[in-house]
Chains A and B, each alone.
Chain A
C-alpha cells in the first residue's frame, strides 16, 4: 500500500491535532501518551513487534528507515526484559516533545505541512496530502470519519488509529459529541479488532484515567531552579506513571551529569516548560510556534 510508505501512524496522529486552517490544538497529557502508543503501533505494523493476549513480543530490530521509529526500536531492544506496553508508553511519553519535533520535521519534508510566520500550516492551505505516484490519498480525519460512518471492513492502519483515539479519549479530535454517541458501538468494534492495538491501547487507559493537575505553574515564580526541576521531575513521574527513578531518562535523573545540564538550562530560561533533544544533545523551550531552524535536516 502506498500509504504504508508515505506517513507513519505518529505522523497521522499529530495531523489530527493540526487545525483546519493550521495551528496546533494545544496538546494535553492524553495526546502525549497517545503519541507514544502510536509509535508502538507503527512498530507492530512494521513487524518489529507482535503480541498475543498475554504479552508484547519483540520480533526484529531491523531499522525501519524512519528516525523516530528507529529511536524507539533501539530503546525497546535495549531492555528486552520489559514486555508490557504500559512501560514503553511511559518511557516514550517522557520524550514526546522531542519526538513531536521529529514528526513535524518529517511532515514538512513530505510537504504535508509548512511553517509560515512561525505558524504550522497545511502545505496546501487545507487538510490534504500531496499526490503520491499521481494517486490521491485521503487525509486521516476524512478517512477515519468515512470508515466509522460505513460498514466497511477497516484497513489495519485505520483500526489502529481509531483504537488509539478511542482508548486515549481523543475521539473529539475527529468527531463531534453527537457523532461519538451515535457511532459508539461501531467505534468500539473497530477499536478491538487488532490484538496489539488492544493491548497497547488498553494500557493507555491507565494513563488517561488518572486525573492529573499540574502544580508547577502555580509555584514557579517563588521556587529556586533546583526546586522547580525537582517539581518538574515529580510531575513527569506522576504524569507518565514512572515509579522508579532509574526508569527516568538521564536528563531527569538526579545525580547524572545530564541532570546538571538540565538544571543549568532551567536557570537560564527561568521555567521548566522544556525538553531535551537527545539526538541534537540540546535543550529547547516548548512552544507551539515554530521556526524553520528547529527542524534542521528533518527526521
Chain B
C-alpha cells in the first residue's frame, strides 16, 4: 500500500494505491488519524489505484468517519468496480459520500 497526501483548499486528499488488508490496515489508520489529530476535518480518499480491500481495511474507514464525527467528513472517490462492490455490500454507500472522481468530491467539499 502506498499513500500520497496533498492538500487543496484545506481538504486533505489521500491517494491510496495497492491493497488494504489486515497486514497494513493499522498503518493506514495511523496516517489518517495523524491528520485528524493535526486538525484535519475535511478529507478525501482517492481510491483510483486501490485494487483490494478486506474487512480490516473497511473498518478503518468506519473508524475514521466516526472519529471525524459531524464536524467534518471523509469523502471517497474513483472506486474501482471490485472495491465499489465491497462498499455496497457493506452498506458503506449509506455512510460515505462516494463520487466518480476527485473533482466531483472536491466540488462537494
- List the interface of chain A (C-beta within 8 A of B): 44, 47, 50-53, 57, 59-60, 153-156, 159, 189, 192-198
Contacts and interface: CB of A to CB of B under 8 A. Distances in A.
A273 B62 CA distance: 43
B86 A53 contact: yes
Contacts of A57: 21-22, 54
Contact of B55 (A51, A153, A154, A189): A51
B56 A50 contact: yes
5 contacts: A52-B55, A153-B95, A192-B89, A194-B59, A195-B55
B104 to A, nearest CB: 23
Contacts of B25: 47
Nearest to B66: A153
B45 to A, nearest CB: 16
B54 A50 contact: yes
Given A52-B86, A59-B22, A153-B65, A193 B54 contact: no
B21 A53 contact: no
Interface string B82-100: 0001100111101100000
A193 B92 contact: yes
B55 A194 contact: yes
B100 to A, nearest CB: 23
Given A153-B65, A193-B95, 9 more contacts: A44-B55, A51-B54, A52-B52, A53-B86, A57-B21, A57-B22, A153-B62, A156-B63, A193-B90
Residue of A47, A52, A156, A198 most packed against chain B (CB within 10 A): A52
Interface string B54-79: 11101100110110000000000000
B49 to A, nearest CB: 18
Contact of B62 (A51, A53, A193, A198): A193
A192 B63 CA distance: 16
Nearest to B85: A53
A52 B54 contact: yes
B37 to A, nearest CB: 16
B17 to A, nearest CB: 18
A50 B22 contact: yes
A155 B94 CA distance: 15
Nearest to B95: A153
Contact of B58 (A59, A154, A195): A195
Contacts of A59: 22-23
Interface in B29-45: none
A13 B85 CA distance: 30
